[in-house]
Homo-oligomer: A and B are copies of this chain.
Amino acid sequence: MRDEVGRWVRAAAPASVSNVCCGFDLLGFAVAGWQDVVEARSSPRPGVRLLEVTGDGGRLPRTVDENTAGVAVLKLLELIGRDGGEAPGVELRLRKGLPLASGLGSSGASAVAALVATNEALGIGADPERLLTAAMEGERVACGTAHPDNVAPSLHGGLLLVRPGETPALTELPVPAGLTCVLLHPPSAVATEAARAVLPVEVPLSTLTAQAGNLAALVTGLFRGDDRLISGALVDLVAEPVRASMTPGFEAVRSAALAAGALGAGLSGSGPTVFAWTREPDWAARIGEAMRDALERDTGLQGDLLISPVGAPGARVVAHGEPS
């Protein structure tokens, strides 16, 4: 067996919405329907090889140590002490389903899918904490910072409070029945690194109090299923004011979502995707149409819509291929 490549294992990792207004740098949730897929198989040759990348229009690096999926898997092998040129190695094929620089956790989903596929293909059995650490290393290459707020929900699923730290502390938050996310992805891009560069280094103490108070109210609203609390708390006083202008049509789209009955709306990640929440799954299509129409009226751009429960399942192995 050591002389042969193993069977392909295919894993999928979902898109994720990070920040979530007052949850800037602290909240993230997985969505269902948009995802990245990675196939992995063991190889008698040590090391990590990225055989193929499709669906990215040729824009992603093909070099293992520059590609977020490759870097994440290299880190995993390092964490389990298998980075010393020891066999088996792993071969990867990345099928991008998510648009780049979209605010949908695209780089994170690639890293997570690669890790879950590799973990299974090589029978590593790494625990979720290790996978998260490795995925964050992928984010460092893709975005300049090893931020966990996309990879954590893409890996675990659900709606998560992700507190920073060397090992981030993850706390799953309750999702009230029916809570639904509408995503509008416009055909534009916001580079995560550029979006971080516009953030203030310091904020007024009163901003801290207001933002923390809103986050506490949002968490309370989630536990109680209290729409009024949730809605009033879905405000971002920190990132959105300086990032909104990087997303053409943002104010129009956000206003349209609220006018159509959404509980709240904001930038997904650092944009340009805009998310809205509603407790009424039946309203989601109408809210989405209103957002799409507003984008087109305001900018002439056509956006893609996704409707998903808030806090969809995380990454998983979706298929085992035939033995080669």
Contacts and interface: CB of A to CB of B under 8 A. Distances in A.
B213 A163 contact: yes
A171 B171 CA distance: 22
A205 B212 contact: no
Contact of A203 (B26, B202, B220): B202
Contacts of A161: 213, 216-217, 220
Nearest to A202: B202
Interface string A189-233: 000000000011111111111111111110110010000010010
A20 to B, nearest CB: 11
A209 B25 contact: yes
Contacts of A211: 208, 212
Contact of A216 (B199, B205, B216, B232): B216
A27 to B, nearest CB: 8
Nearest to A26: B213
Interface in A17-76: 22-26
Question: What is the size category of the interface that chain A forms with chain B?
Answer: 35 or more
A173 interface: yes
Given A163-B210, A212-B26, A212-B211, A171 B205 contact: no
B219 A216 contact: yes
A87 interface: no
A173 B220 contact: yes
Most buried by B among A161, A216, A219: A216
Interface string A158-192: 00010110000101010000000000000000000
B202 A205 contact: yes
Given A208-B211, A216-B219, 5 more contacts: A24-B209, A163-B217, A171-B217, A203-B208, A208-B212
Interface of A: 22-26, 161, 163-164, 169, 171, 173, 199-217, 219-220, 223, 229, 232, 238
26 contacts: A24-B209, A26-B209, A161-B216, A161-B217, A163-B213, A164-B210, A169-B232, A171-B220, A201-B204, A202-B202, A202-B203, A202-B204, A203-B203, A203-B205, A205-B238, A208-B238, A211-B212, A212-B212, A212-B215, A215-B215, A215-B216, A216-B216, A216-B219, A219-B219, A219-B223, A223-B223
